[in-house]
Every structure is written in C-alpha cells, then in structure tokens.
Amino acid sequence: MAATSALAQTAPGGGVAGAPGAEAVPGFMQPGSGPLQLLPPGAGPAAPLPEAATPYAPSTGPAVEQKPLATVAPREAATLSMVARLTPDGPPLGAGVVWRVFAEAQGPDGTRELVAERHGGSADFVLKPGGYFIYCGFGYAGTTEHVVVGTGLKAESVVLNAGGVRLAAVTGKDRPPLGGDDLSFDIFAQEVDSHGEPKAVALDIAPGEIVRLPAQTYNVVANYGDANARTTADIDVKAGKLSDITLTEKAAKITLKLVSTEGGEAIANTRWSVLTQAGDLVTTGVGAFPSFILAEGDYTVIANHEDGQFQRIVSVVSGENADVEVLATTDQKLTN
C-alpha cells in the first residue's frame, strides 16, 4: 500500500457520492455530507463544487423561512456568524459544509425544531436571543455545538478535526490503476457494532472519489469483481490533509469458453463453476464467454453442457488477464 498526503484545497471536479442522509433521532439530526473544499488564505470565492464530491445530506424538515434582519426589532434579534475549520489553525472551509440550527427545547417526541439550515462555507443566522444547538457536517465528519446568543453579532468557529482520502488500486508494481467498473471500496471504523462486526462508515466508494472523514484510523476493503478478489489495509486519516491511498489487488480477469478443438468456436448454453483446489466453490456463471475476476492462485474450472462435464486446472497470475479454453474432449470429461 502506498500513501501520499497533501493539504486539501479547493479544486474543480471530484467528490463522493452516496453520503449518508440526515435522519431524525431524538434530540439531534444525523451528520450530513459534503465535499472536502478548502479556500487557501487570500483566495477568492470558492469554485463550483466538484461533481465527484460527497453530496450534501438532504434535510428531513421543511424549508425554514427567516425574517430579514432589517424587519426584526434590534432587541428581538441577533446575528450568529459561523465558520468551520478542519484544524484549529486551518483556514475556514469555503464549501461543502452543512449547517443546521436546532431549538434548545425538546418537543413532546424528544426531537428539536429545525430553525435554520445553510449549505456552503461560512454562514450567518438571524436568531432570537436564547440557546441553540448548531450542527456542522462535512462529508462523514460532523459535530454539534451548543451556542447561546443575546442581541447583536456573535461569531463562532467550529473545528471538525477531519481530513480526506482518495482511494485507488493496482494489480502490481508499475501497473496502471484499476478502473471503476469492477472496483469499489468499503471503509470501516476500528470499533465494532452490537453484533461484533466492524462498523461500516462508507460503502461502495468508487476509485478516485474524495471521502471526508474524522481524523482517525480506518480499515479499507478493496473489492475487485464479485468473486474472491479482496484486499484490506489500515489507513490513517490526518486532520487537514487529503491522502492518496493505493492498494494492491493480487488478482486477474479470466474469460472462459468451451470448445470442441483448440481455437474452435465457443459452445453456447454452457454452465460454469470455478472451484478452489480444495474443492470450495468460488463462483458460477452461464454463457459462451463468461468472465470472472479471481484472486491469484490455482482453480478447477468445470464446464457443464448437454454432452457432459469437462474440466481444466487454471492458474491465475496477478495482473495477467487471460482467455481460457476448456476442451470438450474425452480426456477432459468428468465421469460420475
């Protein structure tokens, strides 16, 4: 596994899809999601959000209409100005932040009223004097602060202690990165759930997408194909950093065909089974030219056709995709 780190900065393109939505629970809203975007000191307005950025968590409450400050009597209103940072000394985030303001008092069902919501970078809220819970979400990172406002202007800064990762995989040294059609990543926390399983943080992440996470150690699983090609690694997310992580998948793709003679036409309506040398079933398929992505190793390939069962031992070498012929001949035929 190779990993490089760089300061996260605003750039067009890239982001995470499929971030978890907001879900009402007693007392609070769940974290939202958004792309990792930083405005370096002295930069202008943030560029448009990249398409691959983690999408914002959708609001589960109705749109909240706020009175313009000019229409509210000075004694009855305050302006709360909020900024978010990845680290205490980092620059304010210029985009990708979800802000939600909740009333301090709980309702009969234990939830709190959503008073206001903003998406973007820094945010200003016109509020009546009193206490509020301010949720700040950034990708899979989020925190809630309790703030009391009086009259006039109050400024607050939220430190998320978060960073980002961008994942990729290769099948060997000096080989190009694998494409996203057959590759995805799952990210798990170090702690386990009530069933003793690792807690899932982000699932089905495409290669090259930026995932925003609280700064800590995670376990990443690279899924190559849908058979047995899996690679795992522990990664560290650094606060204020965007880290590029590349995993190595020891696997390759094989395409099978049943033929009467070497180089002959593939026989249609063939059912396939791929087994380990110990006899454990790995995967199955149907067709004249099925393809399977398999972890490096030796396998027994069995072709089932109306003329009988035929087999061949196949060796899979990492990164070496291959076409494999199984001969429908007597010496390859299985007997009961």
Short-list 289, 288, 285, CA closest to 274: 285
What's the rounded Cα separation, in Å, for the pair 203 and 19?
9
What's the rounded Cα separation, in Å, for the pair 257 and 262?
11
Sign (positive or negative) of CA dihedral 196, 201, 206, 211: negative
- Mean pLDDT, the chain, integer: 82
List the single range of 4-13, 181-190, 257-266 with lowest mean pLDDT: 4-13
What does the angle CA 260 – CA 332 – CA 251 come to, to the nearest 5 degrees? 90
What does the angle CA 198 – CA 201 – CA 206 come to, to the nearest 5 degrees? 120
> How many other CB atoms are there within 10 angstroms of residue 89's CB atom?
8
pLDDT, average across residues 51-71: 43
pLDDT of residue 76: 75
pLDDT, average across residues 306-313: 90
Short-list 151, 311, 170, CA closest to 229: 170
- Residue 325 CB-density burial (10 A; 0-12 exposed, 13-18 middle, 19+ buried): middle
What's the rounded Cα separation, in Å, for the pair 6 and 19?
23
pLDDT of residue 233: 96
DSSP state of 60: -
pLDDT of residue 336: 52
What's the rounded Cα separation, in Å, for the pair 55 and 263?
50
> CA-CA distances (angstroms) from residue 24 to 66, 104, 267?
22, 15, 56
- Residue 25 CB-density burial (10 A; 0-12 exposed, 13-18 middle, 19+ buried): exposed
Q: How confident is the model at residue 320 (pLDDT cuts 50, 70, 90)?
A: very high
**For 211-242, how does the pLDDT look when each residue is reduced to its tens digit (9 = 90+)?**
999 999 999 999 999 999 999 999 999 999 99
pLDDT exceeds 60 at position 20: no
